[in-house]
Chains A and B, each alone.
Chain A
Amino acid sequence: MNVLLAIAVGGLYAAGLYLMMRRSMIKAILGLALLSHAANLLIFTAADLTRARPPLVREHATAPPPASADPIPQALILTAIVIGFGIMAFALVLVHRTYTVTGTDDLDRMRSTE
């Protein structure tokens, strides 16, 4: 399972970077989305995949039972997904506005600030 996920992460990174190297603005944004998904999946994989019990602390106990899963990676990924969602919404609006203002989707034509 680890190997499969590692390949998936690598594939997502490759596809994301490929899209970002295109000249189209919208492809760059899609590439960014893939990169952030790859990062999330990487956290998921790096933090160890095990079959374990849910980390629920029993009544009157102070620690979860042994062989519980680690809840932290999921919390991290959830946070990252929420942040990524907000950023992606902003990026899409930005692309739309830029297209309206400059009239092009081609990053190579945006040279007035260079």
Chain B
Amino acid sequence: MTHQLLVMPIVIPLIFAATALAARRWPAAQRALGVAGAAALLAAALALFARVARDGVQVVQLGHWPAPFGITLVADIFSAIMVVLAAVIGASVVAYSLFSIDRGREAFGYYPLVLVLLMGVCGAFLTGDIFNLYVWFEVMLIASFVLMTLGGERAQMEGAIKYVVLNLVSSALFLAGVGILYGMAGTLNMADLHGRLAGIEHPGLVTVVAMLFLVAFGIKAAVFPLFFWLPASYHNPPAAVSALFSGLLTKVGVYAILRVFTLLFVQDVGFTHWIILVIAALTMVTGVLGAVAQGEFRRVLSFHIVSQIGYMIVGLGLFTPLALAGSIFYIVHHILVKANLFLVSGIAERLCGSRQLKEMGGLYRARPAVAAAFLVPALSLAGVPPLSGFFAKLILVQSALEIRAYPTAAVLVGVGLLTLFSMSKIWNEAFWKPLPPDAPAPVEHGRAVLPLLVPVAGLAAMTVAIGIFAESLLALCYLAAGQLLDPSSYVAAVMGELP
């Protein structure tokens, strides 16, 4: 039974994607398959999560090759949380796409591509093999490349070139790192690597490879100073695609950083994790300052992604159980909130006919429901209690104070304030101020956006729920952080009787 549970999050999207591709002439069938695939994935992810929460780390050795020889799929609590989040975002985005993606994109395989992307993301979260992680990265990337360019508008192509080139550089670095790692340790299984790297002759060489991985994953996660591709490309495709990317793609990079810097590269924590801490702080500050300077709805949000990536890895830099739990809490909060904000931005753009904040306005008066849908995730992102963002930031600040990392705590609080400032800028411009007289004509009026509000409201409800049940989520994140910091149960589950 474990076998099926672990394989399902990868197989379900694949089967539905292949079927939807075969049905490419029938848009209605494609849409139905997209919805069914996303729903089935969500069910499988929840079942896997329930199993992991009850019975601990789950492992499948594919093809019955014992570890470390075959490819292993592993789900600890952190992986299971990430798979559930991927499925939630996938389902929300597919529901939103039903009423927002044009016929042209549907005809060129929009739904199969979304499903393939979800497959790549779930595969990356579940694999226990470092080369297999590379393969899942590529699966995810190629789907994202096509999703980003689908439609072929000028801005899309220009953004896509930067996105494609930088991500391929990152892949080449990752591949080189894997090669050197294999040359040193003679294995690719991450649990096996954990044991072997501890006893290696040249710890300095391991640190060099660690930095290679940090750069490779850093490009994917968009940390300072490697984030420039993100604000140049994320705002160009349709809002549904932006939401999917912002919710999941950079987070796979963050997941990979958290995974390798807790399982593999823990020989020289004083050095490597200090670098991560500095990078995290710089990422937070540059991201939010970039956001303050922007004048376009989705570009503000794109810069905020960068800033928030800093929050997610700052916990790794502090490297205490509470800090790591805070990082995981922040990832959960961020994925739900950020994807939601991009979905709302799509609605606002339709109603105003523009993406430029100075050409938007009057939404609060005209569409109070949309305004409320924006306000919940926006306030949550800025860290206003009692929403999810408040607790996420609180945990991180508390963990920084606990180990007397006062500068880090100061940065965390200061960036939170600036986030609130730039969120209030969007609120003032797009929702509060009256519609400017020279505003362009809206793309859509009134009722047409109502179906789009359903997934938005669902994600907003989850944000509120996290705020209310913060205690239990923190307990869960604490367990996940404990498994990351002490990988013995992970290693034992993967390696079985072997040493």
Contact = CB atoms under 8 A, between A and B. Distances in A.
Interface in B294-336: none
Contacts of A79: 131, 135
Given A43-B178, A94-B157, A38 B183 contact: no
Interface in A43-66: 43-48
B366 to A, nearest CB: 29
Contacts of B131: 76, 79
Interface string B363-384: 0000000000000000000000
B154 A102 contact: yes
B169 A32 contact: yes
Given A98-B161, A113-B155, A87 B179 contact: no
Contact of B154 (A73, A86, A112): A112
B408 interface: no
B182 A43 contact: yes
A29 B165 CA distance: 7
B180 A42 contact: yes
B168 A98 contact: no
Contacts of B135: 79, 83
Determine the interface band of chain B, counting residues with CB < 8 A from chain A.
Answer: 35 or more
B76 to A, nearest CB: 25
Given A20-B169, A35-B169, A86-B142, A113 B159 contact: yes
Contacts of A1: none
A32 B165 contact: yes
B160 interface: yes
A107 B161 contact: yes
B411 interface: no
A83 B165 CA distance: 15
Interface string A86-100: 110011001101100
B82 interface: no
B154 A46 contact: no
Interface string B145-165: 110010011110111111011
A80 interface: yes
A66 B358 CA distance: 73
Contacts of B169: 20, 32, 35
Interface in B112-165: 131, 134-135, 138, 141-142, 145-146, 149, 152-155, 157-162, 164-165
B293 interface: no
B189 to A, nearest CB: 11
B442 to A, nearest CB: 23
B250 interface: no
A98 B175 contact: no
Interface residues of A, number: 39
Interface in A1-60: 20, 25, 28-29, 32, 35-36, 38-40, 42-48
B142 A113 contact: no
B165 A102 contact: no
B182 A76 contact: yes
Main secondary structure of the interface of A (DSSP, over half): helix
B283 interface: no
B415 interface: no
A8 to B, nearest CB: 14
Contacts of A94: 145, 149, 157, 160-161, 164
A77 to B, nearest CB: 9
B232 interface: yes
A79 B130 CA distance: 14
B236 interface: yes
A32 B168 contact: yes
Contacts of A45: 183
A110 interface: yes
B172 interface: yes
B269 interface: no
Contacts of A38: 172, 176
A90 B142 contact: yes
B67 to A, nearest CB: 14
A87 B142 contact: yes
A46 to B, nearest CB: 3
A32 B145 CA distance: 16
Given A76-B182, A102-B157, A43 B175 contact: yes
B158 A98 contact: yes
B233 interface: yes
Nearest to B153: A101
13 contacts: A20-B169, A39-B173, A43-B175, A73-B182, A76-B178, A76-B182, A90-B145, A94-B149, A95-B161, A98-B160, A101-B154, A113-B233, A113-B236
Given A43-B176, A46-B182, 18 more contacts: A32-B172, A35-B168, A36-B172, A36-B175, A38-B172, A39-B172, A43-B182, A73-B182, A87-B168, A94-B145, A94-B157, A98-B157, A101-B154, A110-B158, A113-B233, A113-B235, A113-B236, A114-B232
